[in-house]
Amino acid sequence: MNPTKVLIPVGENELKGTNGRLLYIARAMAIKGVQADVLTYSPSVYEFSVEISKGNQAINTALIAPNPMHLDHIASLVNTFIKLTYDMYIPGTDMKLYKVTAFDDFRGHVATFTYPEIDLTPYTAVMLPIPSTEVPPLTDCDIFYSTVCFYAKEQGVPIVGIQMFPAIQTPPIFIKAVDYIVIKYEWEKEYLREYGFDMSKTFVLDYAQEAYFIDTIEDKYMDSLLNPSIYIPKEELVILLINHPRLRFCVKESLEAINELDMPKTVFFMKRKFVIRELSEDDIISDFYMNDIKKIKGRSFVMEPDSKGDLIMLCDVIISPAYLTTLGFASEYGKLSIVYNPIYEKKDFQTDVTFVDNKDSLKAALTECYNRKQARVSFSDIVRKLVQCRKKTAPAVKGLATPGCIE
């Protein structure tokens, strides 16, 4: 069975706007078994794509070269324009329109090259980064994107626009050209609705790890997710459990609650580097926690606190038996931050830090977090929905432009 394939055409401005993160879309989809082909006209984009996809057989990068247009063809286009506008006058004057436009505006905007025909029929979709009106693409990129859009429309391959820049900077022509749009925020739908875009054809990319690929603001903590030390699939719940020198029963109950959950998970048990009399933290972990850690159905790791920043970015939930500023920091990145302690009275912690005092409530909170994570939309989820849509509509239509079929 042939793998699902998508094409990602990439221009220089769009790659620079995300500091190269845009091309990590291909890697994210390749991990999920999607063949992601990158196409560009730019040697620098080509080299960058080849470098970050080195050794990945599911990512192919191609460089397309322009074909020069013959001068006679350009002259023919100008002559055609004159014939079509010969009898038209500038309103309120006896000046013919072609005399002021044919050799200025029209001739000046006829490109001297084009790109060869592209066969897009093997692809489920074209994932097209949408340029910005603030920094419009140069001629080579403009013609490149136009060529891809033309052949996609002609061959019935859906175009999925990727909204990287603010929605208000979207060239209106792209709202008409694309079949679907990927956005990062719900509020961006309002802008699209004003242009009459079908709301059933919008995807809100709310899986934070992949939404960062198309974010134009750099974050050094989120950067750690670009090349993580361990791959965490979206299908797993990732829990960071922080040790404590005295509240060991809280930590043990947290481990018991985690073990009772029937879901794919990875657990990071983070040390605190403490010593209690003659006992090291490693001794306590080995004697008091290790049996519970070994029972975890899934992957488990005992981690040094030096890797705390990277672990917070990887995890979905952070649990501690006492309040730490680490929890407040994690909550700012959308992590479920829990203080689990059955004997403390409930306190007003930092916003979005949750107090839990029993195992049942802890399991319920973890289950709810897992379900929310599975409901989030990633790029591979988008492609999967498009594949399902094609199967539903293939007998009736060539493309996928069926209103509401992604619902």
- Give the pLDDT score at 112: 75
Question: What's the chain's Rg over C-alpha atoms?
Answer: 27
Question: In sequence order, what are the residues at sequence separation of 6 or more whose Cβ sits closer than 8 angstroms to the Cβ of residue 276?
Answer: 245, 284
The superfamily in CATH containing domain 5-67+114-225+378-393 is: Glycogen Phosphorylase B; (3.40.50.2000)
What's the whole-number average pLDDT of the chain? Answer: 89
Give whole-number Cα distances, 69 to 78, 151, 395, in Å.
14, 19, 39
Provide the 8-state DSSP code for 406: T
pLDDT digit string (tens) for 264-304?
999 999 998 887 777 788 888 888 899 999 999 999 999 99
Lowest-confidence region among 243-257, 334-348, 361-375: 334-348
pLDDT digit string (tens) for 143-164?
999 999 999 999 999 999 999 9
pLDDT digit string (tens) for 173-225?
999 999 999 999 999 998 899 989 999 999 999 999 999 999 999 999 999 99
Among all chains, which residue has been given the structure tokens 């560009």? 40
pLDDT digit string (tens) for 171-185?
889 999 999 999 999
Give φ, ψ of 306 to 5 degrees. -65, -25
- Give the pLDDT score at 401: 43
Nearest one of 389, 369, 372, 374 to 318, comparing CA atoms = 369
Determine the Cα–Cα distance for residues 197 and 180; give it in Å rounded to an integer.
9
The superfamily in CATH containing domain 237-375 is: Glycogen Phosphorylase B; (3.40.50.2000)
Q: Is residue 399 predicted with pLDDT exceeding 70?
A: no
Q: Is residue 120 predicted with pLDDT exceeding 70?
A: yes
- Give the pLDDT score at 270: 94
Provide the 8-state DSSP code for 22: G
Q: CA 395, 396, 397, 403 torsion: positive or negative?
A: negative
Percent of the chain with pLDDT over 90: 65
- Give the pLDDT score at 104: 67
Give whole-number Cα distances, 362 to 29, 76, 198, 266, 304, in Å.
33, 74, 41, 17, 25
- Give the pLDDT score at 274: 82
Provide the 8-state DSSP code for 201: G
Determine the Cα–Cα distance for residues 399 and 37; give it in Å rounded to an integer.
20
- Give the pLDDT score at 135: 85
Structure tokens at 39: 């196409």
Confidence band (pLDDT; 50, 70, 90) for 400? very low
| pTM of the predicted protein model | 0.86
Q: Parallel, antiparallel, or unpaired for β 113-114 and 67-68?
A: antiparallel
In DSSP notation, 42-81 reads: -HHHHHHHHHHTTT-TTEEEEEPPPEEPPHHHHHHHHHHH
| N- to C-terminal Cα separation, the chain | 26
Beta strand spans in 148-264 (E): 159-162, 180-183, 202-204, 237-242
Give whole-number Cα distances, 224 to 14, 20, 25, 311, in Å.
21, 14, 15, 9
- Give the pLDDT score at 398: 44
Nearest one of 28, 26, 45, 34 to 144, comparing CA atoms = 45
Give yes or no on whether 5-67+114-225+378-393 and 237-375 have one common fold: yes
Determine the Cα–Cα distance for residues 297 and 104; give it in Å rounded to an integer.
71
Domain boundaries, the chain: 5-67+114-225+378-393, 70-108, 237-375
- Give the pLDDT score at 403: 40
pLDDT digit string (tens) for 12-63?
999 999 999 999 999 999 999 999 999 999 999 999 999 999 989 899 999 9
Determine the Cα–Cα distance for residues 71 and 189; give it in Å rounded to an integer.
45
Percent of the chain with pLDDT over 70: 92
